[in-house]
Amino acid sequence: MSEHPPNDEIYLDNHASTAVDPRVIEAMLPLMRSEYANAGSITHEPGRRIAAMIQECKEQMLGLLGASGGQLVLTSGATESINLALFGVALHPRQKRRRILVGKLEHRAVLDCARKLARQGFLVQSLDPITHDHHDPSVPERPFHIGRIDIDAFKETIDDEVCLVSILLGNNEIGTLQDMRPIADLCRAHGAILHLDATQAIGKVPLGELSLQADLVSFSAHKFYGPKGVGGLLMTDPDLMLTPLIVGGGQQNNLRSGTLNTSGIVGMARALAIASESLESEMPRIYALRDQLWQKLRSSIPGLRLNGPAWNKDFPTDPKELYGLPGNLNVQFPGVDGQSLMLKVPGLAVSSGSACTAAEPHPSHVLTGIGLSQDQARCSLRFGIGRFNTSEQIDQAAKKLAWAYSQLIQFVA
């Protein structure tokens, strides 16, 4: 098997997964070759070294996430973290509230948890986003807010019976970044626990105080150039009570039993450190590549439409003006099925939506949720531009797509 993808492949699916940074691999190798003891085996020196190493990684990650006083539960990834957050809060014996609010455009991991809780008697309600149909010409910046929670509607929905609110910080399909301050303030005012799904945002945008505005923050290492199979659930209040999903050993304060993935944890900590160090230079470069791809495609394909929030050509100096993930581009190709377009350019790795729903025949709930018809959603593709993409690759991808589109549109009546 080849160690690297073929030279003619262009990978633009960095929302689904990223390449493991070589520096991360280097940090992980000793944990596979020589330092392979179990972190729970503290009766001998090798085990104590691993336990100390894991603790150091946790403290480092808490610091990088701006939550040094919090607790970090190490998991197998964002899906497990989300399950622990939602079921852990809702099913705790002391939880008396029975209402749960979730964003309408959430990842399936959240939506499926919410559906299961609804079957167990909880009242689950969706929070409406700002859609294309809500555009007000008198508010010129409104298109920048596509996909954000409608705060006015949220104010009318939340009350003192809500136990949990779950919000996707950076949308995995259209890239929308939520304005968390008013959401967090309303949750705090009503005593509701706020869970933030930061899977796509951590390592891609500065969190600032975002992590501290939420009670629970879930993430996964393979979204920021770390290994697959490891992630975390940040608890900004270490005294928050959760019901564990996995028992059988009492590790991690009884919140998540099981032998720790030591090489993965070390890799995740290194990946997060690299992402934090390079964020200032990496964001504007990826932002520019996203704009380059959009401009190239738009100049070649008539009627191309952007799904999701718009952006200004120049990278914003104020983080509040960053309305979407820098590397996200979701585009509607008029008159052509997105899946057919992908098949026409086999060397180009893109997607028609979330990797977790790629096998489903239904159109994206995110795209229909912001006002697109089912046909428009099926005409759309998602591009995820990342650390290892180049300007030359973007040009090549645009040319390949423009050619493929010109071939397919001929068969449209």
Catalytic residues: 356
Cα separation, 200 vs 174, in Å, equals 11
Cα separation, 346 vs 350, in Å, equals 10
Would you say 109 and 82 are in contact if contact means Cβ atoms under 8 Å apart? Answer: yes
Alpha helices in 101-241 (DSSP H): 108-119, 151-157, 180-190, 210-213
Angle at 371 (CA atoms; ends 368, 374), nearest 5 degrees: 40
Alpha helices in 35-102 (DSSP H): 45-64, 78-90
Q: Measuring CA to CA, how many Å separate 402 from each of 12, 55, 67, 297, 395?
A: 16, 50, 46, 7, 11
Q: Rg of the Cα trace of the chain?
A: 22
Cα separation, 271 vs 94, in Å, equals 37
Q: 130: which DSSP letter?
A: P
**Structure-block tokens of residue 306:** 């952007």
Residues 6+ apart with CB under 8 A from 397: 10, 12, 293, 348, 383
Would you say 86 and 248 are in contact if contact means Cβ atoms under 8 Å apart? Answer: no
Helix H or strand E segment including 68:
none
End-to-end CA, the chain: 43
Torsion angle, CA of 52/56/62/66, rounded to 10 degrees?
150
Cα separation, 149 vs 344, in Å, equals 36
Q: Are strands 193-197 and 216-220 parallel, antiparallel or unpaired?
A: parallel
**Structure-block tokens of residue 386:** 């990342």
Would you say 202 and 174 are in contact if contact means Cβ atoms under 8 Å apart? Answer: no
Sign of the Cα torsion 263, 266, 272, 275 reads: negative
Cα separation, 47 vs 49, in Å, equals 5
